[in-house]
Structure 1
Amino acid sequence: MSVRSSRRRKKAPPDAESLRAELAALLPPRLGDAARAYDRFVGAASLELEADAKAFAAHHAACKAALAHIEVLIKLIRWAEAPAAGPEASGAEPGAELGDDLGRLIAEARAHLAADLASELLDGETADPDSLDDDHEQD
């Protein structure tokens, strides 16, 4: 038995159209699940969040991670549902054609988090600026 015949052949990667079709069917329900989970997390945490800077910073970081996950799902869904000759065929980043809806959603979430922080600070809690994540992406 030769070395070549004993090795398993790697499965060929799916072609782009097959991958698009698979993702177009798989991801939309996952996006809904992620959005509902984010909503539950934000709602539950706002009621139970302790009034300290570390807990708020951890909550803020978790919210940012969840929104980033949702953003990636949206980009992948848009890419999967786009025709093959769309903007991606020219080398543009998948999801580059996103409209203002996602930007508005992110801005609203950031405003909500900023309002929560302001409320905490006005209630007499002092936050350690170094513990808060001020890394805001600007488009």
Structure 2
Amino acid sequence: MPDLRVRALQLLTRRDYCRAELKAKLAAHAEFEEELDGVLDTLQAERLLSDHRYAAQRVVARAGRYGNARLKQELRQKGVGDDDIAAALPEAGDETDRCRAIWAKKFGHLPESAEERAKQMRFLQYRGFSGDAIRRVMRGVDQ
């Protein structure tokens, strides 16, 4: 068990992990799953492992490139709970402002045709921005 804790702490000193991600990394080194769960519970109790902190850091780091839907999806895939995701998303800032900034960086000019407009909207949708944010940005562009 001390060996498992040392491995966990070595990983956590490099960057934050969510519980599910750290559990997957340490699974090969644990003899019993109960032992691994015990180490993870101890780390959480000591506030060295926190899904909420991981989600907040991940959202802040990736908010400049992606919309809320994409951020939610990535965090769910990492095993972060919905409560932690909901608490972390406001840290990203206003989705419409982020969407507008990405649109301006990528395109920066008004769409000249319906096809070009659709292309720009698809790009923003792929980045995980809500339809509402995309419409606001495109409506602002048209004005």
**What TM bracket, shorter-length normalisation?**
0.3 to 0.5
Between structure 1 and structure 2, the one with the greater Rg is 1
Which is bigger in relative contact order (C-alpha 8 A, separation at least 6)?
1
Taking structure 2 as the reference length, what is the TM-score of the superposition? 0.32
Taking structure 1 as the reference length, what is the TM-score of the superposition? 0.33
Give the helix-richer structure, 1 or 2: 2
